[in-house]
Amino acid sequence: MKNEPPAAAPGTTQTPDLSHIAARDKAEILSQALPYIRRFHGKTIVIKYGGNAMTDPALQQDFAEDVVLLKLVGLNPVVVHGGGPQIEGALSRLGKKGHFIQGMRVTDEETMEVVEWVLAGQVQQDIVGLINVAGGKAVGLTGRDGGLIRAKKLKMIDKDDPAKEHDVGQVGDIVSIDPSVVKALQDDQFIPVISPIGFGENNESYNINADVVAGKLAEVLKAEKLMLLTNTPGVLNKAGELLTDLSAREIDDLFADGTISGGMLPKISSALDAAKSGVNAVHIIDGRVPHAMLLEILTDQAYGTMIRSH
């Protein structure tokens, strides 16, 4: 009992419990962190939260503590989350099987209802709760709130036949992002947690790829960094070795020769677009490593791949 931190007084934030981090690691982080804290103070960091970091309870706690710590030292984290496995679980409980075309979930009206209540309800509120328990002040938003994400129906062209178009239902393409509600929350010391749901001109809902939302939001907010948490070490070359530092031009070459393919394509495409549109650095990091995000931002150790605009 004697090692527990004192309870926070009413109206104050509870200090995150970092007792499970080894003293040596704490000292290492603190010794390296100061120049990075100084450099990134007041800057916005957009974080795409997904993969194991989102489903493993210990990693969930690590993530929440990292986000709170970044906010406390003066950075402005904005969280965008996915929820594919949770949507799949909810659909299967309803006896409905997910159907994908070229990696995109076909979203009919009934599926869209499930997507909304899973993402904007269960998943979002879990993340908000985790951050608040860790001592932060998180607020959940969808693309509807404050007119944040205007969208239109995604036109999916067949990858083999450009004349053919697939109908994937209520899957959205971003028309515009109005970040004023996000900025207002940031200015009031809140941490926005955003579900990737947009709205159309007839008030219809659209399911949007969370990597795409995170990338576009980072561009519009003129973020210093975009961080994409994944279940891979980062971008690997054909020999399976981690590429820790890539320019936009080098990424284009990896697309061209087929090194980047499959599920990494939309993620890296969003990262590349953000890097080319003014986001200073995009990090694709291994969300399976405890506190990888904090270590990537506040130390000189690479925990994934950094994509630079030039």
Rounded to two decimals, what is the model's pTM?
0.87
- Asked whether the predicted pLDDT for residue 6 surpasses 60, the reply is no
In angstroms, rounded to a whole number, what is the distance separating the alpha carbons of residues 224 and 47? 11
For residue 237, say whether it is annotated as part of any ligand binding site.
no
Which of these ranges, 62-71, 230-239, 276-285, has the smallest mean pLDDT? 230-239
66 dihedral zone (left: phi>0; alpha: psi -120 to 50; beta):
alpha
Q: Which of 24-33, 109-118, 238-247 has the highest mean pLDDT?
A: 109-118
105 known ligand binder: yes
- Distances 91 to 97, 99, 122, 253 between C-alpha atoms, Å: 6, 11, 14, 39
* Residue whose structure tokens are 């907010």: 221
What gap in Å lies between CA 201 and CA 303, rounded to an integer?
41
What is the average per-residue pLDDT within 153-173?
A: 88
Structure tokens given for 35: 């120049």
pLDDT of residue 270: 84
The predicted-structure confidence for 108-122, as pLDDT tens digits, reads as follows: 999 999 999 999 999
The whole-angstrom separation of Cα 230 and Cα 106 is 23
Q: For position 227, what pLDDT does the model report?
A: 94
Q: Residue 171 above 90 pLDDT?
A: yes
Residue 101: pLDDT over 90: no
The answer to whether the annotation marks 83 as part of a ligand binding site is: yes
How many percent of the chain have pLDDT more than 90?
45
Average pLDDT on 11-35 reads 66
Q: Is the pLDDT of residue 107 over 60?
A: yes
3-state secondary structure of 288: coil
* Burial profile 212-224: b = 16 or more Cβ within 10 angstroms, e = fewer: bbbbbbbbbbebb
Domains and CATH numbers, the chain: 40-308 (3.40.1160.10)
Q: Which residue is associated with the tokens 């690997």?
A: 236
More confident residue, 201 or 271: 201
| SS3 state of residue 75 | coil
Residues paired with 308 in a beta bridge: 247, 281
In which band, very low, low, confident or very high, does the pLDDT at 18 lie, cut at 50, 70 and 90? low
